[in-house]
Amino acid sequence: MRIARVLAARAASLGLVLLVIIVILVAILGGAGFSERVIMASINEELRTLRQSLAQRITDPEELEAVLAQRKAELISSYGLDRPWYFRIPDLLRRVVTLDLGESRVLESFSGSRKVSDIILERLPYTVLLVTSAVAISTVTGIYVGLKLAMRAGGVLDRSVSYLAAVSNGLPSWWTGIILILVFVYYVRAFPPGGIISSPPPAGLLERALDIAWHAVLPVTTLVAVSIGPTIYVARTIVLNVAQEDFVAAARTKGIPDDVVLRRHILRPSAPPIATILVFSLVGSLGGAILTESIFNWPGMGRLYYDAVTRGDEAVIVALTYVYGLLYVSARLLLEALYIILDPRIRY
């Protein structure tokens, strides 16, 4: 029960932080006139549908325009556009939280829908597939290599891999992606230049999955190449610092086997910061995949963010900003739960 209360308190505090961020965002958007454009887009769409319906019954153009003008005035009053923007903050806040931001002005989903929620929910699985694969590979490999280096600190292998990790940390994702395309697409001709599936797509389910994996090799490799170096270096530093603690030296002087010392006295205290690396690498890669998805034309949220910014689609930009903030808060809450599980001292 105590753990549940602690997690509930953490969730409430993080939810409050997210709410404050959304309120600030909504206030900025309201002052900039964004809320009026979003609401007017919804009103115009409703009026367009109403015009098509009434045109079958009202043949007089002036009468039709008068009915539409009256309906427009009613909608403007019901949405509060006849009052200052700050009176609309609660309603706009609800719209942002529920992704009810009307329709996109220029972007649409693969099925042809222009609803902001449909567009984002359709792109989210592709980003999760790409980022989760890259983070899993870089994290598992980085922690394993970092652990091996920490056990042999100062050796030739340690110094060599540390230099490579520094190089990996300095690699821009866009440059790495372009180099991979140049080498493996135009010279070796082993992979497609972009996209998520061939055209026409394969018929069978297994063939389709293999085709998606084939298209994902280069973007996943790009994300792994720019993230595995920092993961190796940070994991090595964490494990090396813990290995130099007095309780580890005491365990070794007692004659405890090295594998037991490694598992119980080194890895367990290192677990919370390593978990932090894993979770925040996952969330950070969701934002960092914007350039990678754009280079490889991967239809995820990163590519959607790029398209929304370059084409000036404010509704999609706001919705994606909220989604990224929600993912960050969820990651923080997940870390709180992991800390309690991995380090029993935090419970007290």
- Residue 276, Cβ neighbours under 10 Å: how many? 16
pLDDT for residue 286 is more than 70? no
Q: How far apart are CA 340 and CA 343, in angstroms?
A: 5
**How much is the pLDDT for 218?**
92
Mean pLDDT is lowest, of 11-25, 150-164, 232-246, for 11-25
pLDDT tens profile 163-194? 888 888 788 888 888 999 999 998 988 888 88
* Assigned superfamily of 116-347: MetI-like (1.10.3720.10)
pLDDT band (50, 70, 90) for residue 284: low
pLDDT for residue 38 is more than 80? no
**How much is the pLDDT for 347?**
59
Mean pLDDT is lowest, of 87-91, 110-114, 168-172, 289-293, for 87-91
**How much is the pLDDT for 1?**
62
For residues 268 and 238, the answer to whether their CB atoms sit within 8 Å is no
pLDDT for residue 142 is more than 70? yes
**Tokens 């953490």 belong to which residue?**
10
Phi first, then psi: what are they for 6, rounded to 5°? -65, -45
Q: How far apart are CA 276 and CA 285, in angstroms?
A: 14
**How much is the pLDDT for 180?**
92
Token readout for 10 is 């953490």
Q: How far apart are CA 341 and CA 348, in angstroms?
A: 12
pTM of the model: 0.74
Token readout for 248 is 């580890």
What is the per-residue burial (b if ≥16 Cβ within 10 Å, else e) of 173-183?
beebbeebbee
How many percent of the chain have pLDDT more than 90? Answer: 4
pLDDT band (50, 70, 90) for residue 330: confident
Q: Mean per-residue pLDDT for 18-27?
A: 75
For helices 2-31 and 89-97, give the axis angle rounded to 10 degrees. Answer: 120
For the chain, the domains span 2-97, 116-347
Single-letter amino acid, residue 267: L
pLDDT for residue 348 is more than 60? no
